[in-house]
Chain A
């Protein structure tokens, strides 16, 4: 097993666990945590391919990962803001009780 394969398998594990969290948990914040884990797994893939690619000096994969980190931070802020707003309105973060988003 080459190092690239090992890194990709770790990323696949983290992605699958993130997907399981996003699909199974009932709390909206935990679903956001699962989405963050999936984004992080994708970043690990990007960095691994950048490192073991043919031209790492071109910095393409690294830049992709850095921009992806920035977009993930924005996504986390907006998602948690939405959860807090929903909680203020109807006192729950339980996804099975969230059936409407109209105020």
Chain B
């Protein structure tokens, strides 16, 4: 599927970076969340171009379907949508920008320097969802279980943290008393 750098790659890469830039520059928080969704969609398209169908659809399900919705909920719960902040950037924004630009320059320099210029184009890997499922159930079963426990603990913890304080305290006391 991949032979050199095609026009599709350039378009999706431009979409991804433009969404991220919009999230960095827009003042309205809801607009930031929506451009973040554009970036997530662009990354999913990039995964699909890399023949990683499972990761691409997992990206769409998890990020666009869950994380973006969660971010919008958090924004709407913490402030009105139309209210503008007094200042949206911190006091040391210039130094931070310099640090970010330096990180980008360093990463690009390292990538361009360290990888061979020629680089054989790899064959399209024959990876199906079935083989991913088989690998998850055989070689990667311990990480899978650990992630399951982690997700349960994290989501229960998030609910406890976000709960009103007196209610959380009552639940903790009830559990502790037994």
Contacts and interface: CB of A to CB of B under 8 A. Distances in A.
Interface of A: 1-10, 12-21, 23-27, 29-30, 32-34, 36-37, 40, 43-44, 47-48, 50-54, 56-57, 59, 62-63, 65-67, 69-78, 80-85, 87-89, 93-96, 103
A6 B73 CA distance: 35
Interface residues of B, number: 85
Interface string B151-164: 10011011101101
A93 B74 CA distance: 10
Given A15-B107, A52-B122, A70 B100 contact: no
A24 B36 contact: no
A16 B101 contact: yes
B40 A40 contact: yes
A69 B99 contact: no
- Candidate in B96, B100, B116, B132 with the most chain A CB atoms within 10 angstroms: B100
Given A29-B29, A57-B127, A93-B78, A13 B9 contact: no
Nearest to A55: B125
B78 A20 contact: no
B132 A59 contact: yes
Interface class of chain A by DSSP: helix
Contacts of B164: 88
Nearest to A89: B165
B131 A16 contact: no
A58 to B, nearest CB: 9
Contact of B17 (A13, A71, A76): A13
- By Cβ-Cβ distance, the 9 closest A-B pairs, closest first, are A23-B96, A16-B104, A56-B125, A74-B154, A81-B158, A20-B100, A12-B107, A81-B162, A2-B119
26 contacts: A2-B116, A3-B121, A14-B17, A14-B20, A16-B101, A17-B20, A20-B100, A23-B93, A23-B96, A24-B90, A24-B97, A27-B29, A29-B78, A30-B29, A32-B71, A52-B122, A56-B127, A59-B135, A67-B147, A76-B67, A77-B70, A78-B158, A80-B74, A81-B158, A83-B78, A84-B162
